[in-house]
């Protein structure tokens, strides 16, 4: 009886650790994907924004969006901003496709963002389907009204490739930790005494519950440091690339002969752009007319807090499941003892 309970305990430990490994890996991959997608989309939108500004400049000077000269060259420049981009499109405010480059728009789910979103001063509006993400950047006229949208088609698989190395390291770490925990648990289960079978089930379930919770806490705790470093690196790299993209616009303005007395106008423009980029706290222009971006600690902490919440949720589920399993084992042993005592009493009465 004791050996059979031990075998079931080993099987339960293996299945539980496998479930924890799957949930942990899914949680880490989802957290990394969310971060990388967000900073990547923001960086692409920032680089594309200079082309949108060119379109807006033409609209403010009397050009019609549905009859815009040399728009194909503009879309070519937009598509060159990222290798992830499979198409670029211009859609009117009422949803008509005006221009396209790349994948045929007939095979995509292009749509105009909801009015309540387009009235906000946000950099882009995001939608998507199973294969693509769509970033819609508003094109505004001189009065600030939306004339249309530049829509970017981004391949989902290409963006996710950016976190493959993080996912690979996470997989190796999870497998190593869980194998070590399984080995230790297997050793202690094999050393468990079986001479008091009335209590062996509860003891083994308690042991399994402890190791499952310990494995979940250890795995997510170790990756917490790596995820923080991954987050900081991704945010800083994206902030620097955004500053470079804005620098090209500043250089173009300065090349047109903007005097030093009007540099404060550029600072105001940078402040407006900075308010649209949650990845930075501010964008500044130094004395050498170089744009610098200050990464946002609040932005980094928002992803860390989300990851911490998922970690605590996983550990809480493991603890709750362990408690329920121990209670069930304790009640099972108690029922078994009562049943055995009842059988003995019936035997005495019958005798």
CA 186 to CA 178: how far, in whole Å? 12
Q: What's residue 150's pLDDT?
A: 92
Q: Which residues contact residue 336 at a Cβ distance below 8 angstroms, ignoring those fewer than 6 apart?
A: 198
Asked if residue 179 lies in contact with residue 188, where contact means CB atoms within 8 angstroms, the answer is no
Residues spanned by CATH 3.30.450 within the chain?
Answer: 60-159
DSSP characters over 90-137: EEETTS-EEEEEES-GGGS---PPPHHHHTS--S-EEEE-SSEEEEEE
CA 169 to CA 28: how far, in whole Å? 11
pLDDT digits (tens, 9 = 90+) for 189-218: 887 765 554 456 677 788 888 989 999 999
**What residues are paired with 159 via a beta bridge?**
none
Q: Which residues contact residue 53 at a Cβ distance below 8 angstroms, ignoring those fewer than 6 apart?
A: 249
Q: What's residue 116's pLDDT?
A: 46
Q: What's residue 199's pLDDT?
A: 59
pLDDT digits (tens, 9 = 90+) for 45-57: 888 988 888 898 8
pLDDT digits (tens, 9 = 90+) for 25-36: 999 988 988 888
Q: What's residue 234's pLDDT?
A: 87
Q: Dig out the tokens for 229 from the structure.
A: 């470093």
Q: What's residue 23's pLDDT?
A: 92
Q: What's residue 307's pLDDT?
A: 92
pLDDT tens over the chain, length 351 residues: 567 777 888 888 889 899 999 999 999 988 988 888 888 888 888 889 888 888 988 888 888 888 888 899 999 999 988 888 999 999 988 888 899 998 888 878 777 776 544 445 677 888 888 888 999 998 888 887 888 899 999 988 777 777 888 888 888 989 999 999 999 988 888 877 655 544 566 777 888 889 899 999 998 888 888 888 888 888 888 888 888 888 877 777 667 666 655 655 666 777 777 777 788 887 777 777 788 888 888 889 999 999 999 999 999 999 998 888 888 777 766 666 666 555 555 554 544
CATH for 60-159 is: 3.30.450
Per DSSP, the three-state class of 289 is coil
DSSP characters over 194-261: -S-HHHHHHHHHHHHHHHHHHHHHHHHHHHHHHHHHHHHHHHHHHHHHHHHHHHHHHHHHHHTT--GG
């Amino acid at each position: 009886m004791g050996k059979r309970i031990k075998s079931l305990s080993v099987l339960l430990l293996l299945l539980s650790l496998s479930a924890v490994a799957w949930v942990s890996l899914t949680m880490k991959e989802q957290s990394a994907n969310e971060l990388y997608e967000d900073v990547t989309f923001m960086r692409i939108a920032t680089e594309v924004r200079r082309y949108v500004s060119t379109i807006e400049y033409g609209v403010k000077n009397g050009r019609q969006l549905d009859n815009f000269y040399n728009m194909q060259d503009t879309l070519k420049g937009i598509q060159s901003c990222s290798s992830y981009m499979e198409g670029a499109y211009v859609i009117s405010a009422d949803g008509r496709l005006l221009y396209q480059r790349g994948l045929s728009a007939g095979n995509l789910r292009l749509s105009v963002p909801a009015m309540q979103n387009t009235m906000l001063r946000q950099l882009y509006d995001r939608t998507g389907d199973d294969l693509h993400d769509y970033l819609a950047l508003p094109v505004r006229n001189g009065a600030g009204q939306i004339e249309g949208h530049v829509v970017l088609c981004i391949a989902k698989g290409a963006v996710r490739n950016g976190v493959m190395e993080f996912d690979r390291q996470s997989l190796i770490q999870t497998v190593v930790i869980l194998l070590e925990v399984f080995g230790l648990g297997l050793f202690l289960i094999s050393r468990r005494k079986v001479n008091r079978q009335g209590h062996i089930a509860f003891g083994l379930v308690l042991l399994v519950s402890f190791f499952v919770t310990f494995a979940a806490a250890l795995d997510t705790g170790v990756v917490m440091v790596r995820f923080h470093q991954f987050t900081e690196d991704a945010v800083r790299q994206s902030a620097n690339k955004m500053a470079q993209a804005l620098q090209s616009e500043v250089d173009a303005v300065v090349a047109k002969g903007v005097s030093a007395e009007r540099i404060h106008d550029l600072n105001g423009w940078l402040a407006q752009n900075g308010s649209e980029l949650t990845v930075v706290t501010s964008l500044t222009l130094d004395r050498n007319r170089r744009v610098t971006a200050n990464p946002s600690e609040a932005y980094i902490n928002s992803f860390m807090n989300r990851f911490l919440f998922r970690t605590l949720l996983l550990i809480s589920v493991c603890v709750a499941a362990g408690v329920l399993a121990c209670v069930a084992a304790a009640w099972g042993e108690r029922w078994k003892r009562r049943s055995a005592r009842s059988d003995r009493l019936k035997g005495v009465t019958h005798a």
